[in-house]
Amino acid sequence: MNSKKKSEIIARFLTPAIKFWIRNQVESITQLEVEIDAGDKQILSGKINQVYLSANEANYQGIFINQASVSTEDIAVNLGGILRGKPLKLLHPIFVSGDIVITAQELQKSLESSLLIQGLQDVVKLILENQRLENILEKYHIQWKNINIENQQVTIQGNINNNLKKVNNTLNITSNINIQEKQKLLLTDIKIEGIPELNNLTINDLIIDLGNEVAISELTISPHKIHCTGKIKVVS
């Protein structure tokens, strides 16, 4: 297969198939660029050496991402199916590495995402479990309202209520956030205000293990945006 033929397969089949697959993973995306690095033998065997992606203003399950620039390598896909017009499928999990940027405004907008809401609930639960107070959450319903970012610091605010005890307070949780290791986040100087049983609790530090499928090499939080560099495992 000559280089022209290879380019035709990439242009006519692989690139559109990858773009279609990505667009199916997100609710919306403003701009998407795909660059494929693959040799003749790799393409014929359904393997791609490397794929580079750049995207702007993407919405992933209600989480708004301003910019993303990522790459992945050693990808195995169903080339035969793609050539017959079938959707792309990953034949094995891959690790995607790169950078994402989320602005403060997009982070606030993302508070309506069930994915982010569940993530916040899980973090609060971990904080309270660390203090052997996890059962407190069972008494209350939390509705998150605001999320503010400063230099390596995050503050989340919401309404916490318990109809049985007629409790309706404003919940504030503030923490400094840094990387402990690539797969661990270090939360320090954690302050919780608004839960009656805790009486304005302060926790010195807490380590959150992200697991083997995530690795963060850089996390920069400023008043305007969050910039994260790392990798994550993706399964088709």
* Whole-number pLDDT of residue 165: 67
Structure tokens at 117: 């809401």
CA dihedral of 124, 126, 128, 129, whole degrees rounded to 10: 160
* Whole-number pLDDT of residue 20: 94
* Whole-number pLDDT of residue 1: 44
Q: Would you list the domain boundaries of the chain?
A: 3-92, 108-224
* Whole-number pLDDT of residue 195: 86
* Whole-number pLDDT of residue 40: 66
* Whole-number pLDDT of residue 80: 87
* Whole-number pLDDT of residue 71: 97
pTM of the model: 0.89
3-state secondary structure 96-135: EEEEEEEEHHHHHHHHHCHHHHHHHHHHHHHHHHHCCCHH
* Whole-number pLDDT of residue 150: 97
Residues 38-80 have pLDDT tens digits of: 876 777 788 898 999 999 999 999 999 999 999 999 999 998 8
Instruction: Please name the helix (run of DSSP H) or strand (run of DSSP E) that holds residue 165, with its range, or none.
Output: none
Which residue pairs, CB below 8 angstroms and at least 24 apart, start in 19-23?
Answer: 20/87, 20/88, 21/87, 21/88, 22/53, 22/55
Q: Judge whether 102 and 48 are in contact, CB under 8 Å.
A: no
**C-alpha distance from residue 216 to each of 38, 39, 213 (Å):** 27, 30, 10
* Whole-number pLDDT of residue 120: 92
Q: Judge whether 39 and 9 are in contact, CB under 8 Å.
A: no
Instruction: Please name the helix (run of DSSP H) or strand (run of DSSP E) that holds residue 224, with its range, or none.
Output: none
| CA-based max dimension of the chain | 75
* Whole-number pLDDT of residue 7: 58
The CA-to-CA distance between both ends of the chain, in Å, stands at: 29
Kindly give the parts of the chain with pLDDT less than 50: 1-6
